[in-house]
Amino acid sequence: MGTFDKFADDPNADRIPPGQTLVKGFPVLTYGHTPQLAREEWTCRVFGVIDCEHVFTWDDLLAMHQTKVTCDIHCVTRWTKLDMEWEGVRFTDFLQEIERKCGCIPGEANFVLQHAEGGYTTNTPISHLLDDNVLLAHTYDGKPLEPDHGGPVRMLVPRYYFWKSAKWLNGFEFLSRDRPGFWERYGYHNNGDPWQEERFSH
Ligand SMILES: Nc1nc2c(c(=O)[nH]1)N[C@H]1C(S)=C(S)[C@@H](COP(=O)(O)O)O[C@H]1N2
Ligand SMILES: [Mo]
């Protein structure tokens, strides 16, 4: 009671990080042009400090275990959208496929740089990608993911601001030392936790 009275009329208040506002629609935030890629044309190259390079295809992705995720998304431009429904392949399941092709992921591969069509990148410690709801997502709201939102395949990393989820995903680079991605080089926070308001690095 008392301090929490202001939340009494909003059952979702504890799901909205500081400085965020709920939206009903699904805003599009893209730097540059929107690639138009058919699902069958999609590829994802894995490279860096792993034992081999490998290119996965759409058929490879479809053959992997498929997972549905319902999550809340927080964008650094201050919108939050609740209960978004996605489907795709868990990053942890994808990692197992990488290990099958390339051998074990070496212990020195502590960071991952997501690469996207058009040159966008974003970096995270590999540990941030091991949550059950981190997906290579190809379906949103029961429909193929639209090009504006990163279709045919985007990353989904719900626990961090949405710039940490690359649209038009086309590669994972494994790194022994962290390397800032596109927005991280332009002053966005390296970590990007919405609950800590890690928006900018200065
Ligand atoms: N390839 C690529 N991925 C990207 C971006 C981008 O410009 N290019 N923008 C990022 C940012 S800043 C946000 S907030 C989300 C927006 O995703 P949406 O357009 O589906 O809302 O995608 C992220 N991933
Ligand atoms: Mo963003």
- The CB of 116 under 6 Å from ligand 1? The reply is yes
Give the tokens for residue 135. 């997906």
Burial 121-160 (b: 16+ CB within 10 A, else e): bbbbebebbebebbbbbbbbeeeebebebbbbbbbbbbbb
Q: How many helices (H) and strands (E) does the chain have?
A: 3, 11
Q: Atom 12, ligand 1: which residue's CA is nearest? A: 163
Evaluate if residue 2 carries a pLDDT over 60. Answer: no
The answer for residues whose C-beta is within 8 angstroms of residue 93's C-beta and 6 or more apart is 64, 65, 67
Least confident of 8-17, 80-89, 135-144: 8-17
Q: Which whole number is the average pLDDT over 28-53?
A: 96
Residue 178 carries which DSSP code? -
The answer for residues whose C-beta is within 8 angstroms of residue 107's C-beta and 6 or more apart is none
- 111-124 pLDDT tens trace: 999 999 999 999 99
9: confidence class by pLDDT, cuts 50, 70, 90: low
pTM of the prediction?
0.95
Q: How far is the CA of 183 from the centre of ligand 2 (A)?
A: 9
Q: Which residue has the tokens 């498929």?
A: 66
Q: Atom 21, ligand 1: which residue's CA is nearest? A: 28
Q: Which domains does the chain have, with CATH numbers?
A: 42-196 (3.90.420.10)
Least confident of 11-15, 98-102, 131-135, 195-199: 11-15
- CA-to-CA dists, residue 4 to 11, 13, 18, 80, 195, angstroms: 11, 10, 15, 21, 18
- How far apart are alpha carbons 184 and 191 in whole angstroms? 9
